[in-house]
Structure 1
Amino acid sequence: MPTTQAFEDIAETFEFLDDWEERYRHLIELGRAMPAMEPALQVPATKVDGCASQVWIMPRIEGPTFDFQGDSDAVIVRGLIAVLHALYSGLPVSQVGDVDAQAALARLGLDEHLSAQRSNGLRAMIARIRQLAADAG
Structure 2
Amino acid sequence: MATESFEDIADTFEFLDDWEDRYRHVIELGKAMPPLDEAFRVPATKVDGCASQVWIMPQINGSGPQAQFDFQGESDAMIVRGLIAILHALYSGLTVEEVLRVDAGGALARLGLNDHLSAQRSNGLRAMVERIRKLAGETAAA
Say yes or no: TM over 0.5. yes
Give the equivalent residue in structure 2 for 1:129.
Answer: 132
The TM-score normalised by the length of structure 2 is 0.94
Runs of at least 4 residues off by over 2 Å:
none
| Alignment match, 1:58 | 57
1:33 counterpart residue number: 32
CA RMSD for the aligned pairs?
0.5
Q: Displacement, 1:18?
A: 1.2
Per-residue CA shift, 1:84-105, capped at 9, x if unaligned? 0000001111111111111100
User: TM-score when scaled to structure 1?
Assistant: 0.98
SS of the residue 2:47 aligns to: coil
User: Partners of 2:39 and 2:71 in 1: how far apart?
Assistant: 16
Q: Residue 97 in 1 paired to residue 100 in 2? A: yes
Unaligned runs of 5+ in 1: none
**Whole-angstrom CA distance in 2 between matches of 1:79 and 1:4:** 17
5+ long unaligned stretches in structure 2: none
2:81 pairs with 1:78? yes
Which range moves more in the overlay, 47-56 or 92-101? Answer: 92-101
| 2:108 partner letter | L
